[in-house]
Amino acid sequence: MSLLIRNARILTLATGSRPRRGKELADLGVIPAGEVLIADGKIAAVGPRVAAADAEVIEAQGRVLLPGFVDCHTHACWAGDRLGEWEQRLRGVPYLEILKAGGGIHATVRAVRAATKKQLAAHLKERLAALLREGTTTVEIKSGYGLQTEEELKMLRAIVRAGNEWPGTIVPTALLGHAFEGSLDDYARMVVKEMLPAVAKEFPGITVDAYCEDGAWSVEACVKFFEKAAKHHPLRIHTDQFTSLGMIPEAIRLGARSVDHLEAATKADLAALAKSRTMGVILPCTGFHVDGRYARAGSLVGPGGAVALATNCNPGSSPSHSMPLAIALAVRFCGLTPAEAIAAATVNAAAVLGLSDRGAIAPGQRADLLLLHHKDERALAYELGGNPVEAVICGGQRVS
């Protein structure tokens, strides 16, 4: 049975390049009053009027229809909690101080190691259900809380297992350089010689990631790891969250798919990033929860750069699964307009993950769609709290 959505304000995002760059980011390709026909899990037709026989009809009544959100940076697979750490931060203890004392990422590492693959998958399934309710139909999920080869493999297996039981799409990422134990030199050497080959054997072609920051991986360690991994894997890099260490120029040189965080990025590095093919991924929920610092996304868009937006859902620095909240914060604090934030959360986020079959409403695209309660898409960024999503269509099926 096909599905016809009628009388919707359609944000097609079907014009311009992939990813959207500069001024293109604000072009939502709006059809003020139109119809979308879905058949066999894909968009069959879109326009002011669409011919359809024997289709189930959803009457949109002028409300906004847009592509499903693509959350392109999360750590949604974890065990335990970090509530005690949060209280410490409320009392003024800096995150890097907590990390050096064995908290932060290391607290979650201990909890993940104590959990089974089945338990990790069960926790993740609960979070995936919450993501879907607020409109996320594709989500990237990183490993990185294992810090040992078998534990990283356990996480990736749990991510795949949960994804097989979810109507949306999961994209796993091997975050092999998240933190370290013992000497960084020794640990990074183990990752290159042991962990990377083991992950590549079971998950060939998987994207790999590392966290370049004081207290985490150095620029030198990241570069050595990425130069080895780049032969067979796409690269993504966490960098410039708290300090600017010089990783952005190296990421551009290495041809990384994205650099993520950017709260501490310099004007010169942002200018270079805007001219490159590497995308910037901003994570405003992190600034909202941690320290009130936000990436200057407008400094990327103005010179023609490509920007994507994600939640960074994780137990420590971003306990949020809400892409609508990420959009609202990006508009308030990162210099994006509502239209730019919507494009950053859909078509550009899909580009970060190397997915060209979603993020727009056009014939042949995967039918991942959201119908909002609102008739004006700007309300998506204006509203704080609550769920703006009326209906979620995932793979051509209405799932909420």
- Consecutive 10-residue runs of the chain (400 residues): their mean pLDDT? 95 94 97 98 97 93 98 98 91 82 88 98 98 98 98 98 97 97 97 98 98 95 98 98 97 98 97 98 96 95 97 96 98 98 98 98 98 98 95 96
The whole-number pLDDT of residue 31 equals 98
Q: Are residues 186 and 237 in the same domain?
A: yes
The CA distance from 318 to 321, in Å, is 8
Whether residue 203 sits in one domain with residue 285: yes
Tokens in use for 178? Answer: 């998240």
Whether 62 and 74 map to the same domain: the answer is: no
Q: Which residue has the tokens 């959350």?
A: 71
| Residue 300 shares a structural domain with residue 343 | yes
Cα 18 → chain centroid: 16
| Pair (281, 298) in one structural domain | yes
Are residues 133 and 30 part of one domain?
A: no
**Residue 14 half-sphere exposure toward CB, CA atoms < 13 A:** 17
Q: Which of 119, 7, 126, 127 is closest to 57 using CA atoms?
A: 7
pTM for the model stands at 0.97
103 touches 95 (CB < 8 A): no
d(CA 209, CA 391): 33
Q: How many domains does the chain have?
A: 2
pLDDT at 94: 83
| Residues in contact with 19: Cβ distance below 8 Å, sequence separation at least 6, in sequence order | 279, 306, 308, 347, 348, 351, 352
Helices (H), the chain: 83-90, 95-100, 105-114, 117-133, 149-163, 184-190, 196-202, 219-229, 247-254, 267-275, 284-289, 298-301, 323-333, 338-344, 347-352, 378-382
Identify whether the C-beta of residue 42 lies closer than 8 Å to the C-beta of residue 5: no
Same-domain status, 323 and 375: no
Query: Do residues 315 and 369 share a domain?
Result: no
Of 352, 369, 388, the residue that ends a domain is 352
Do residues 370 and 338 share a domain? no
Give SS3 for 253: helix
> What is the CATH classification number for the domain harbouring 382?
2.30.40.10
Same domain? For 246 and 179 the reply is yes
Residue 14 confidence (pLDDT):
96
Is residue 398 within 8 A of residue 41, CB to CB? The reply is no
Measured in degrees and rounded to the nearest 5, phi and psi for residue 348 equal: -75, -35
Residues 274 and 150 in one domain: yes
Residue 166: predicted pLDDT: 98
Which residue(s) pair with 397 in the sheet? 394
HSE-up (13 A, CA, CB side) for residue 337: 12
Domain coverage including residue 278: 70-352
Q: What is the CATH number of the domain that holds 331?
A: 3.20.20.140
pLDDT at 95: 73
pLDDT at residue 209, as a whole number: 98
Q: 113 Cβ partners below 8 Å, 6+ apart?
A: 146, 148, 151
Query: Are 35 and 8 in a shared domain?
Result: yes
- Where does residue 362 fall: left (phi above 0), alpha (psi -120 to 50 degrees), or beta otherwise? beta
- Under a CB-based contact definition with an 8 Å cutoff, are residues 132 and 392 in contact? yes
Q: Rounded to a whole number, what is the distance in angstroms from the first to the last CA of the chain?
A: 18
